[in-house]
A and B are shown apart, each in its own frame.
Chain A
Amino acid sequence: MQKETFNYDNKIVRNFAVATAIWGVIGMLVGVTIASQLFDPLYNFSSRYISFGRLRPLHTNAMIFAFVGNAIFMGVYYSLQRLMKTRMFSDKLSTIHFWGWQLIILAAVITLPLGLTSSKEYAELEWPIDIAIALIWVVFGWNMFGTIYQRREKHLYVAIWFYIATFITVAMLHIVNSFALPVDLFKSYSAFAGVQDALVQWWYGHNAVAFFLTTPFLGLMYYFMPKMANRPVYSYKLSILHFWSLIFLYIWAGPHHLLYSSLPDWAQTLGVVFSIMLIAPSWGGMLNGLLTLRGAWDRVRDDAMLKFMVVGLTCYGMATFEGPMLALKNVNAIAHFTDWIVAHVHVGALGWNGLLTFAILYYIIPRIYETKMYSKKAVNVHFWLATLGILFYAIPMYFSGFTQGLMWKEFTVDGMLKYPNFLETTLQILPMHMLRAFGGTLYLTGACIMVWNLWKTARTGKLVANEAAEAYPMVKEVKGEVQVAYWHRWIEKRPTQLLIFSFIAVAIGGVVEFVPAFLVESNVKTIPSVTPYSPLELEGRDIYIREGCNNCHSQQVRPFRSETVRYGEYSKSGENVYDHPHLWGSKRTGPDLARAGNTASKIYKDAGWHYQHMKDPRSTSEGSIMPAYPWLIAEDGDYSKIEGKITVMRKLGVPYVENYEMIAQEDLDKQAEKISNFLLKEKGIKVAKEKEIVALIAYLHKLGRDINTKEVATSE
């Protein structure tokens, strides 16, 4: 049989490589900006569009979906063609995929600073963009499976298993987590509420880390590590065990993000148990990668690409050991809501995803341009800047996290909180925030050097857009032949079966966690005194979401004495049954606000204080790093959609009385007038009832208010 000649499509690989580099630098620049805002609010530049609450989701989206996303596609398009000995299935689909993904990112860059957000962490984009993501993801899958089906190589190398699992799981996570009912083109409400929304959100959030930041990169590691080391992977058997164990276990671990919350205990424990078990497959993968270098460690000294890979894998090992430790309830009690989590995330993101991406870029660009790296010295400089950047980032953040966690919990000998003013704990860690910004700047500088070096490399060569290759055609198996060899080859050679089995493995965890949480009524105990939001409170809540307040303020008081003394009664699931979406948050740069409207809470402040605080936070809280929100005071709220909002909420199960939407505007005006009058008469502050600040105050005063009564009768 004759060999067949064909071409690899390097142009699409180049395009994704360019996008990776550009979006990477932009995302890191936004990261350094928000890191600076966290030690000096001056860097918010009094602009609503670049205030921390709006920029933070832009940073996470840019780094995850633009930088890492494009890197995944670059690596997959390069390795898949070579592993399958064929060109990509369709150049048109490749082009649609590339430009579609870039447009989605562009849409995020425009909408997030405008405050158009669903507020769901790592899934903030509004529903039309969500639909676009799903469609483009399908295009990617179509192209990938088309390529696999037209392959010349019978065996599906383990890297491709990881790509397939990534495709199916991300599709499942994205679609379920994005269930929402639109009010208009730019506004929607999550289909889930309160504790159920939190469970879905962190099932998605945790597994976005697992199946967007981990499994595709493990696939890339299994391809590029042997290529760079020029030796096969240490243990192919281990890679198989690693694959099935990892994808099965990862999906269950989401609830560890909700420890000590009002999520049912059984679900929390499930998350803890599976998180601990995750150490085994995670370390299996890391060791398999590192041991691939057995007998070739001397090459690491001279080859900067391998340095990036080794440190990247080591960061993966550290992050995947630390993750399960953080899932232990006693560790989580201190670490959750603090900078410790930020450090943990960045060891994974900067170390594992960042360094592997850099190594892959350095591997691919000279090859597709048929040249050598322009400056090996610059690659080494980049390596050291990136490594030092990670250290300067992570170490201060760990220090900051321990400091916060311990200060929040410290009592005096008299049994009083030692730091009753939350601000004291924030001021204590500002030097750490400065060092973190320095670390980020080092990392960004390294990335800029890389972009320059890659650009110069490309200039010295010429893109081989269609790289010639040849291979024997694949011989079709006679039906039944496969059973004669190994029964397990039934999966290994068949992408459809692999897809189905991967889907079953990842779906089981979600089903076991969701079905009882959604169907067993006792899991979400209702509280009769908790009422739906009034129209003005609902509008205030939407302003809170728009400004990204949940990025710095949690709304979940944990059942610790240190928290109940500071904030008031611990949170219960029944309080959030009308919260579409939930706003529990994951970080406390500022205090928890779940009891902000409960007059019995020490955290309660009157309308006048809130007005002054939003106008100039330092006037009420000296040294505060919160940005000012003058536009809330200057501008009228647009409440023209209140009728639609009430209607959508009712459709989602919020018990507004029939036709309430018809009088919602009237109710809104009445409540706004009351607050406006209070501010004028009691505080001497003249503010028109139409201003946005009035709605925000109404919302803040709703938080925890419904349980501020001794006669609260609960079904508990």
Chain B
Amino acid sequence: MGKMIGYVEGADVYLIIALLIFLGVFIIAAIYMNLMSKEQITELANLPLDNTNNETNEKQN
């Protein structure tokens, strides 16, 4: 990719910055995602199916 970018006149700085920013966002999102517990994931994924009760609040009560 770096080699290809090098051939584009004047584009290197913008492209490299853009790719670095994206990489940063992607890594943060991936870490964020992986830090979540299975229990929490299941709880969140089931939110649309929870028609009557908000179970989280019930548990906390």
Contacts and interface: CB of A to CB of B under 8 A. Distances in A.
Q: Do A and B bind each other?
A: yes
B47 A265 contact: no
A486 B40 contact: yes
Most buried by B among A244, A274, A474: A244
A155 B44 contact: yes
A488 B35 contact: yes
Given A245-B26, A473-B57, A79 B48 contact: yes
A83 B53 CA distance: 11
Interface string B34-56: 11110011111111110111101
A155 B43 contact: yes
A512 B32 contact: no
B46 A241 contact: no
B44 A236 contact: yes
A83 B33 contact: no
Contacts of A486: 35-37, 40
A311 interface: no
A interface residue count range (under 10 / 10 to 19 / 20 to 34 / 35 or more)? 35 or more
B47 A157 contact: yes
A270 B18 contact: yes
Contacts of A237: 33-34, 36, 41
A512 B48 contact: no
A245 B48 contact: no
A238 to B, nearest CB: 8
A532 B25 CA distance: 45
Nearest to A225: B48
Contacts of B10: 264-266
Interface in A553-588: none
Contact of A265 (B11, B22, B29, B49): B11
Given A155-B44, A486-B35, A512 B57 contact: no
B29 A273 contact: no
A505 B24 CA distance: 11
B57 A472 contact: yes
B61 A273 contact: no
A240 B14 contact: no
A666 interface: no
B interface residue count range (under 10 / 10 to 19 / 20 to 34 / 35 or more)? 35 or more
A56 interface: no
A270 B33 contact: no
B34 to A, nearest CB: 8
B48 A488 contact: no
A273 B15 contact: yes
Nearest to A229: B49
Interface string A460-480: 000000000111111100000
B58 to A, nearest CB: 5
A277 interface: yes
B38 to A, nearest CB: 10
Nearest to A281: B26
B18 A266 contact: no
A10 to B, nearest CB: 15
A488 B34 CA distance: 11
A248 B29 CA distance: 11
A701 to B, nearest CB: 36
Contact of A488 (B32, B51, B54, B56): B32
A249 interface: yes
Interface string B1-24: 000010011110011011101100
Contacts of B51: 82
A469 B51 CA distance: 9
B48 to A, nearest CB: 5
Interface in A124-159: 152-155, 157-159
A319 to B, nearest CB: 22
Most buried by B among A155, A266, A469, A487: A266
Given A153-B56, A486-B40, A266 B48 contact: no
Contact of A240 (B9, B32, B49): B32
Nearest to A238: B33
A630 B54 CA distance: 66
Given A227-B48, A488-B32, A488-B35, A474 B57 contact: yes
A237 B35 CA distance: 10
A223 B56 CA distance: 19
Contacts of B8: 265-266, 269
A443 interface: no
Nearest to A504: B25
Contacts of A83: 47-48
A508 B14 CA distance: 12
Most buried by A among B15, B28, B40, B44: B44
A237 B37 CA distance: 10
B54 to A, nearest CB: 5
A512 B14 contact: yes
Interface in A230-280: 230-233, 236-237, 240-241, 244-245, 248-249, 252, 264-267, 269-270, 273-274, 277
Given A155-B56, A232-B42, A232-B49, A245 B29 contact: yes
A1 interface: yes
Contacts of B53: 3, 471-472
Contact of A475 (B28, B41, B61): B61
A230 B35 CA distance: 27
A267 B18 CA distance: 11
Nearest to A247: B25
B22 A248 contact: yes
A475 B57 contact: yes
A486 B44 CA distance: 14
A227 B49 contact: yes
B58 A472 contact: yes
A226 interface: yes
Contact of A273 (B19, B25, B58): B19
Contacts of A157: 44, 47-48
A244 B37 CA distance: 19
B57 A244 contact: no
B11 A236 contact: no
A471 B33 CA distance: 28
Given A154-B57, A237-B33, A269 B11 contact: yes
Contacts of A85: 54
A223 B41 contact: no
A516 interface: yes
A473 B57 CA distance: 7
Given A232-B49, A472-B61, A266 B30 contact: no
A503 to B, nearest CB: 13
A1 B22 contact: no
Given A266-B9, A475-B57, 10 more contacts: A152-B57, A237-B34, A264-B10, A265-B9, A267-B14, A269-B8, A273-B15, A470-B52, A472-B61, A488-B35
The 8 closest A-B pairs by CB, nearest first: A266-B11, A232-B45, A472-B57, A244-B29, A236-B45, A1-B61, A157-B47, A488-B32
6 contacts: A82-B48, A226-B45, A237-B41, A245-B26, A266-B14, A508-B21
